[in-house]
């Protein structure tokens, strides 16, 4: 069977499964729509959280980024997992005890203020839209490469599927589809990784194969070989870093704190029955995430080795079929600079004795995971499996984000601000309408991506880190924090972080180099500074304004204890 | 049944024990991720174990394993703490 036939079959089966689950789990009340009736088993919630969290970026892009950045790529590996420790220890159990539906709702009640709630709603909607556009794009790319339809058709098919289970089932439908999607995506990620690990090192566990000796008879280890290949071609050593230490610290911290502050992740912990379940399901979630995240750096190293060995200095006329296939998408390009018909791949430190040789290959990092099985010449069904896995990752995250957008609109804006008298039935209807509208907007951005999608990812994490996270943490751990402090803190954090990112990404992109950055901190890491500013300002303002009312202190006492 | 949660000294003690546990775990979290994997990575790279430079291993593998263990240790310790102070859910 051809790749295309296999892909059609596997994607068709997985989509049928998602729709089946959607029909089985139709939501009947707002509680079911918003938090799955708080009846999700912690293990199921762990899987759902893992699928919710691991997006097209984790599945498709991350190993590729690590493979091109080497040790510098560790910021993503640690940043996107370390946040779960913060989430489990500092947020999840208390927010579950609070026992309402949304993150802005907590902010609003803890700070006895509709303005605080509004600031939180705007952040939640902005962060979620930023993120969801990227997911729909991922869906489109997978469709166009593997099923040879155009990107817009791919996006529309993806929208139709998400529409079915997010609009019908709400959180309940999303949760159980995410469980299925986790199983599909982790299987799809592990199968090629295990195959390639065996081919290169003889070890079936990629995490072990990563550090092992190659079985090509050379007797050197994979990482030594990769260091040597990188240096020979004029790149930095794979296992060494080239970013500034402070910058690496700040990026890692911003990603960790941002992860813990993202509303679509936090909201998942509202769906379990008990406080102890919230703690436990955070543990399961990270365990399930760690399976992929510890495999990703191994995949990164394998694919870079295979890529260099099959392409560098090989005649273009004999280029492997995957190279020609990806060339059609424009994501790999070869330009013969010295007319020798060979494909030369070189880094910035390359010194050329004799004839001038320049780098002739440009490779988009996003293709490494998708092309990896083809590069290693794995069977067609494995390649198709990766396509189905990429779609599962993108769709599961998109659904979680759409739910946050719809609850923010129906519950935090309509119900709490504009029409407080609304009945539950009506609210549920508006939630569905908001979800449908959000699907359409997301689809539009997926098909016509604004040029800045890639740049604004820093925004999502930076804003979550500099707004939600400090406000929630202070709200739980510092009783004296009042609304004046929290609101000025959030606004300071957001304005500082957003201003810094806007300046370097949009206003003066040419100045986006380490010499111009504040303390050498890149826009990706500036959320950390924004968070510190938020906390400092909040504490200072709270000191000079009146303490929160007694009933708020009472509420804090209540959420700190699992049973009262 | 009437309860007086506000000034309950037991609950204050429970909260202090909770904060202590969380602080210890977060110190480990910090040392492993920011210490071993970023600040002292080059020093640890001098040591090689199972084909990996140790600092590189912590940055791309070890820190993640430690994160998972930390959460499960927290879950177990909190379950015991909840029971000790009688605030566990049925």
Assess whether pLDDT exceeds 90 at residue A4: no
| Three-class secondary structure of residue A395 per DSSP | helix
Count of beta carbons in the 10 Å neighbourhood of residue B17 = 15
| Domain match, A62 and A77 both | yes
Q: What's the average model confidence in pLDDT over A107-135? A: 86
How does A457-482 read in b/e, with b if 16+ C-beta sit within 10 Å? bbbbbbbbbbbbbbbbbbbbeeeebb
Q: What's the average model confidence in pLDDT over B10-15? A: 90
Count of beta carbons in the 10 Å neighbourhood of residue A190 = 18
Assess whether pLDDT exceeds 90 at residue A64: no
How does A86-113 read in b/e, with b if 16+ C-beta sit within 10 Å? bbbbbbbbbbbbbeebbbbbbbbbbbeb
| Domain match, A191 and A57 both | yes
A74–B71: do the CB atoms touch at under 8 Å? no
B64–A294: do the CB atoms touch at under 8 Å? yes
Residue whose C-alpha is closest to residue A55's, from A461, A511, A362: A461
A432-458: pLDDT as tens digits: 888 888 888 888 877 776 655 555 666
Q: What's the average model confidence in pLDDT over A190-194? A: 93
In this structure, chain A runs to a length of 564
| Domain match, A35 and A9 both | yes
The answer to the question of residue A514 being in a domain is no
Do the bridges between strand A314-315 and strand A342-343 make them parallel or antiparallel, or are there none, so unpaired?
antiparallel
- Comparing A260 with A337, the larger pLDDT belongs to A260
Do the bridges between strand A332-334 and strand A361-363 make them parallel or antiparallel, or are there none, so unpaired?
antiparallel
Distance between CA atoms of residues A277 and A279, nearest Å? 5
pLDDT of the residue at A119: 87
Number of CB pairs < 8 Å for A and B? 135
On whether the CB atoms of residues A533 and A469 are closer than 8 A, the answer is no
Looking at the complex, report in whole angstroms how far the Cα of residue B89 sits from the nearest Cα belonging to chain A. 6
Least confident span in A408-412, A529-533, B55-59: A408-412
ipTM for the whole complex: 0.91
| Domain match, A340 and A413 both | no
On whether the CB atoms of residues A165 and A22 are closer than 8 A, the answer is yes
Distance between CA atoms of residues A194 and A179, nearest Å? 22
B22–A89: do the CB atoms touch at under 8 Å? yes
Residue A333: enclosing H or E segment and its boundaries?
strand A332-334
- CA-derived radius of gyration, chain A: 24
The listed range with the strongest mean pLDDT (A172-186, A504-518, B5-19) is A172-186
Domain of A423? 3-304+371-449
| Domain match, A219 and A313 both | no
Across the interface, of A223, A286, A563, the residue whose CB is closest to B52 is A223
pLDDT of the residue at A38: 82
Structural domain ending residue among the three candidates A423, A449, A475: A449
Distance between CA atoms of residues A376 and A366, nearest Å? 17
Q: Mutation test of the interface with chain B: which of A54, A89, A563, choosing the one with the most B Cβ atoms within 10 A?
A: A89
The answer to the question of residue A461 being in a domain is no
Distance between CA atoms of residues A153 and A347, nearest Å? 37
pLDDT of the residue at B15: 93
Looking at the complex, report in whole angstroms how far the Cα of residue A84 sits from the nearest Cα belonging to chain B. 8
Structural domain ending residue among the three candidates A351, A367, A383: A367
A71–B68: do the CB atoms touch at under 8 Å? no
Residue B78: enclosing H or E segment and its boundaries?
helix B63-84
Q: What's the average model confidence in pLDDT over A229-250? A: 85
| Domain match, A196 and A226 both | yes
Chain B contacts of A208, Cβ < 8 Å? 50
- Comparing A31 with A551, the larger pLDDT belongs to A551
Assess whether pLDDT exceeds 80 at residue A314: yes
Distance between CA atoms of residues A140 and A159, nearest Å? 10
- Comparing A164 with A113, the larger pLDDT belongs to A113
DSSP result, A467-518? THHHHHHHHHH-TT--HHHHHHHHHHHHHHHHHHHHIIIII-GGG-STTTSG
Chain A contacts of B37, Cβ < 8 Å? 74, 78
- CA-derived radius of gyration, chain B: 19
Q: What's the average model confidence in pLDDT over A93-112? A: 90
Averaged pLDDT of chain A: 86
Residue B49: enclosing H or E segment and its boundaries?
strand B48-49
- Rounded to 5, what percent of chain B is helix, strand, coil? 75, 5, 20
pLDDT of the residue at A83: 94
B68 touches chain A (CB under 8 A): yes
Find, in chain B, the residue whose alpha carbon is nearest to that of A248: B38
Residue whose C-alpha is closest to residue A394's, from A426, A369, A422: A369
Distance between CA atoms of residues A530 and A466, nearest Å? 5
A543 burial level (CB within 10 Å; 0-12, 13-18, 19+): exposed
Q: Mutation test of the interface with chain B: which of A241, A244, A561, choosing the one with the most B Cβ atoms within 10 A?
A: A561
Count of beta carbons in the 10 Å neighbourhood of residue A63 = 31
A272 burial level (CB within 10 Å; 0-12, 13-18, 19+): buried
| Percent of all residues in chain A with a pLDDT value above 90, rounded to a whole number | 30
B64–A207: do the CB atoms touch at under 8 Å? no
B87 touches chain A (CB under 8 A): yes
DSSP one-letter code for A38: G
Distance between CA atoms of residues A530 and A546, nearest Å? 25
Residues within 8 A of A (CB atoms), B 26-65 only: 26, 29, 33-34, 37-39, 41, 45, 50-53, 56-57, 59-61, 63-65
Phi, psi of A40 (to 5 degrees): -90, 130
B70 touches chain A (CB under 8 A): yes
The answer to the question of residue A501 being in a domain is no
Torsion sign over Cα A242, A247, A250, A251 = negative
Give residue A49's pLDDT band: very low, low, confident or very high (50, 70, 90). very high
B69 touches chain A (CB under 8 A): no
Distance between CA atoms of residues A450 and A454, nearest Å? 9
- Rounded to 5, what percent of chain A is helix, strand, coil? 75, 0, 25
The answer to the question of residue A159 being in a domain is yes
The count of structural domains within chain A is 2
The answer to the question of residue A253 being in a domain is yes
| Domain match, A356 and A429 both | no
Looking at the complex, report in whole angstroms how far the Cα of residue A285 sits from the nearest Cα belonging to chain B. 9
Assess whether pLDDT exceeds 90 at residue A290: yes
| Domain match, A362 and A377 both | no
The answer to the question of residue A400 being in a domain is yes
3-state secondary structure A83-105: HHHHHHHHHHHHHHHHCCCCHHH
A257-288: pLDDT as tens digits: 999 988 889 999 988 889 999 999 999 999 99
| Residue A382: partners with Cβ closer than 8 Å, 6 or more residues away | A191, A192, A195, A373
DSSP one-letter code for A164: I
The answer to the question of residue A551 being in a domain is no
pLDDT of the residue at A134: 74
B53–A223: do the CB atoms touch at under 8 Å? yes
Structural domain ending residue among the three candidates A416, A432, A449: A449
Q: Mutation test of the interface with chain A: which of B16, B18, B67, choosing the one with the most A Cβ atoms within 10 A?
A: B67
On whether the CB atoms of residues A534 and A489 are closer than 8 A, the answer is yes
Q: A165: domain CATH number?
A: 1.20.1730.10
| Domain match, A111 and A142 both | yes
Find, in chain A, the residue whose alpha carbon is nearest to that of B53: A239
Assess whether pLDDT exceeds 70 at residue A549: yes
Assess whether pLDDT exceeds 70 at residue B7: no
Residue whose C-alpha is closest to residue A437's, from A468, A421, A420, A413: A413
pLDDT of the residue at A458: 65
| Domain match, A340 and A404 both | no
| Domain match, A58 and A10 both | yes
On whether the CB atoms of residues A106 and A100 are closer than 8 A, the answer is yes
DSSP one-letter code for A324: H
Looking at the complex, report in whole angstroms how far the Cα of residue A290 sits from the nearest Cα belonging to chain B. 7
On whether the CB atoms of residues A174 and A35 are closer than 8 A, the answer is no
Find, in chain A, the residue whose alpha carbon is nearest to that of B52: A211
Distance between CA atoms of residues A34 and A46, nearest Å? 17
pLDDT of the residue at A369: 84
On whether the CB atoms of residues A175 and A36 are closer than 8 A, the answer is yes
Give residue A211's pLDDT band: very low, low, confident or very high (50, 70, 90). confident
Assess whether pLDDT exceeds 50 at residue A66: yes
| Domain match, A312 and A174 both | no
pLDDT of the residue at B3: 43
Chain A contacts of B63, Cβ < 8 Å? 77-78, 81-82
The answer to the question of residue A353 being in a domain is yes
């Amino acid at each position: 069977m051809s790749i295309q036939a296999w892909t059609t079959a596997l994607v068709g089966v997985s989509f049928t499964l998602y729709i089946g689950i959607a029909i089985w789990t139709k939501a009947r009340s707002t509680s079911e729509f918003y938090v799955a009736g708080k009846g999700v088993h912690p293990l199921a919630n762990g899987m759902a959280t893992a699928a919710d969290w691991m997006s097209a970026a984790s599945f498709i892009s991350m190993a590729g980024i690590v493979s091109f950045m080497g040790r510098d790529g560790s910021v993503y590996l640690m940043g996107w997992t370390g946040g779960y420790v913060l989430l489990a220890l500092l947020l999840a159990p208390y927010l579950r005890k609070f026992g309402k539906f949304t993150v802005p709702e907590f902010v609003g009640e803890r700070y006895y203020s509709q303005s605080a709630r509004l600031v939180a709603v705007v952040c939640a909607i902005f962060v979620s839209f930023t993120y969801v556009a990227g997911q729909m794009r991922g869906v489109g790319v997978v469709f166009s490469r593997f099923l040879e339809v155009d990107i817009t058709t791919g996006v529309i098919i993806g929208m139709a599927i998400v529409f079915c289970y997010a609009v019908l089932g709400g959180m309940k439908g999303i949760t159980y589809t995410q469980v299925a999607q986790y199983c599909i995506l982790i299987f799809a990620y592990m199968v090629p990784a295990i195959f390639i690990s065996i081919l290169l090192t003889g070890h079936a566990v990629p995490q072990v194969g990563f550090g092992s000796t190659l079985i090509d008879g050379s007797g050197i280890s994979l990482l030594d070989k990769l260091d040597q290949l990188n240096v020979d071609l004029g790149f930095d050593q794979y296992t060494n870093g080239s970013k500034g230490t402070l910058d690496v610290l700040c990026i890692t911290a911003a990603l960790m704190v941002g992860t813990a502050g993202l509303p679509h992740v936090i909201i998942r912990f509202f769906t379990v029955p008990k406080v102890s379940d919230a703690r436990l399901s955070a543990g399961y979630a990270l365990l399930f995430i760690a399976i992929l995240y510890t495999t990703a750096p191994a995949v990164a190293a394998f694919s870079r080795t295979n890529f260099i060995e099959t392409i560098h200095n090989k005649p273009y006329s004999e280029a492997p079929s995957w190279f020609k296939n990806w060339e059609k998408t424009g994501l790999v390009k070869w330009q013969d600079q010295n007319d020798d018909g060979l494909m030369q791949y070189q880094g910035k430190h390359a010194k050329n004795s004799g004839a001038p040789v320049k780098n002739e290959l440009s490779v988009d990092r996003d293709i490494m995971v998708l092309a990896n099985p083809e590069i290693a010449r794995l069977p067609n069904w494995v390649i198709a499996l990766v396509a189905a896995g990429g779609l599962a990752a993108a769709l599961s995250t998109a659904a979680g984000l759409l739910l946050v957008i719809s609850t923010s609109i129906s519950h935090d804006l309509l119900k709490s601000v504009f029409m407080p008298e609304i009945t539950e039935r009506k609210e549920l209807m508006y939630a569905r309408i908001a979800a449908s509208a959000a699907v359409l907007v997301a689809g539009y951005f997926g098909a016509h991506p604004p040029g800045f999608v890639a740049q604004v990812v820093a925004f999502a994490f930076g804003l979550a880190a500099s707004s939600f996270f400090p406000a929630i943490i202070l709200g739980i751990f510092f009783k004296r924090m009042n609304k004046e402090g929290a609101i000025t803190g959030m606004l300071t954090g957001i304005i500082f972080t957003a201003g810094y990112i806007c300046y370097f990404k949009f206003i003066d992109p040419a100045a986006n180099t380490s010499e111009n950055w504040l303390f050498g901190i890149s826009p990706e890491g500036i959320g950390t500074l924004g968070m510190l500013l938020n906390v400092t300002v909040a504490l200072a303002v709270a000191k000079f304004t009146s303490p929160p009312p007694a009933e708020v202190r009472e509420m804090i006492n209540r959420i700190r204890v699992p049973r009262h | 049944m009437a309860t007086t949660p506000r000034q309950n000294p037991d609950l204050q003690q429970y909260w202090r024990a909770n904060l202590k546990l969380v602080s210890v775990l977060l110190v480990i979290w910090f040392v492993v991720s920011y210490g071993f994997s970023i600040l002292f990575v080059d020093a640890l790279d001098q040591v090689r174990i199972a084909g990996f430079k140790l600092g590189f291993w912590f940055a791309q593998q070890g820190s993640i394993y430690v994160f998972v263990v930390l959460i499960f240790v927290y879950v177990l310790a909190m379950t015991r703490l909840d029971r000790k102070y009688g605030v566990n859910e049925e």
